[in-house]
Amino acid sequence: MTVSELRTDPEARLDYLLDHGVVEEAPDGDLRLTADFAETRDIHHDTYGDISEERFVGVVADIFEISEERAREQDVTRNELVSFTTLQTYLDDPPDRDALALLASIVGRITPPSAVPDGMLELSDETYGEFLDSRDAVVVVWRRVCTPCEQLKEELPEIEAGAPERVAFAGVDGDEVPDFRREFEVTAAPTTLLFVDGEQVERFDGKPDVETFHETFAALYGSPADASGE
């Protein structure tokens, strides 16, 4: 596939991303980032995802060799910047800058695989407020490429068994919920936030043992057999 095709043919760009293991077709027919590419993207997201606007403009100017004034005028999103730098690293022989930018614009619109475990309710910045309203709940902040997160996932059924049925468990993908992270001052994963009547009353930064979870649940919510909390 030639650079000219990548520049002029949207279907060629999509084929290129599929052929190079950047995206894949999910069982439901939608496109998703491959796990390998998503892991590399997470590293770049850590570097560029939350930088200041001034720093963001400077990086765009450096990459495209333009003035900062012109960089401010470009319609480049943070997702596209992260996608661009990830593609530069991930591809063995990346195309030229202009073609790579077109590829990044596609990748930037595709949501990475969620870090939230299958079977756990996933919240977003748009839904967590309503979910937490006057509710007893446990919300876990997850990340991909996170060893303690993987360890916590393995113990999750046992952890949940230590709480009364009325306590709702949910998760957020830490890379996708900047508003949630800011509100609750979350800077690492896993982080577990415990709520009573919608108010945060306890938190665990990192992965405590199962016994610590159960003891805290008992103090805040009562025993697992206590469905009413009274």
Q: Return the sign of the alpha-carbon dihedral for residues 98, 99, 100, 103.
A: positive
Q: What is the mean pLDDT of residues 158-185?
A: 94
pLDDT for 203 beyond 80? yes
Domain assignment present for residue 230? The answer is: no
| pLDDT value for 229 | 45
- Of 26 and 94, which is predicted with more confidence? 94
| pLDDT value for 226 | 59
Domain assignment present for residue 163? The answer is: yes
Kindly state whether residues 79 and 157 are assigned to the same domain.
no
Kindly state whether residues 103 and 135 are assigned to the same domain.
no
Kindly state whether residues 22 and 60 are assigned to the same domain.
yes
| pLDDT value for 221 | 96
Q: What is the mean pLDDT of residues 37-57?
A: 86
Torsion of CA 54, 115, 140, 225, to 10 degrees: 170
- Of 101 and 27, which is predicted with more confidence? 101
CATH classification of the domain holding 217: 3.40.30.10
Kindly state whether residues 195 and 157 are assigned to the same domain.
yes
Domain assignment present for residue 211? The answer is: yes
Last residue of a domain, one of 85, 107, 129: 107
Kindly state whether residues 102 and 189 are assigned to the same domain.
no
Q: What is the mean pLDDT of residues 58-75?
A: 88
pLDDT for 230 beyond 50? no
Last residue of a domain, one of 107, 133, 148: 107
Partners of 20 in the beta sheet?
none
Kindly state whether residues 103 and 10 are assigned to the same domain.
yes
Task: Report the number of distinct structural domains present in the chain.
Answer: 2
List own/partner pairs for 144-149 with CB under 8 A and 24 or more apart: 144/38, 144/39, 144/42, 144/112, 144/113, 144/115, 144/175, 145/39, 145/42, 145/43, 146/115, 146/189, 146/190, 148/189, 148/190, 148/206, 148/207, 149/115, 149/189, 149/190, 149/207
Kindly state whether residues 170 and 208 are assigned to the same domain.
yes
| pLDDT value for 190 | 97
Q: What are phi and psi of 51, to 5 degrees?
A: -70, 160
Partners of 168 in the beta sheet?
137
Peptide bond into 95 cis (omega under 30): no
The answer to whether the CB of 144 falls within 8 A of the CB of 190 is no
Coil/strand/helix, residue 192: strand
Q: What is the mean pLDDT of residues 207-228?
A: 88
Quickly state the pLDDT bin for 91 (edges 50, 70, 90).
very high
pLDDT digits over 92-143, tens only?
A: 999 999 999 999 999 988 877 788 999 999 999 999 999 999 899 999 999 8
Specify the pairing of strand 23-25 against strand 121-122: unpaired
Q: Give residue 84's domain range.
A: 3-107
Mean pLDDT score of the chain:
90
Domain assignment present for residue 227? The answer is: no
Measure the CA–CA gap between 60 and 194, rounded to whole angstroms: 39
Last residue of a domain, one of 79, 107, 135: 107
| pLDDT value for 158 | 97
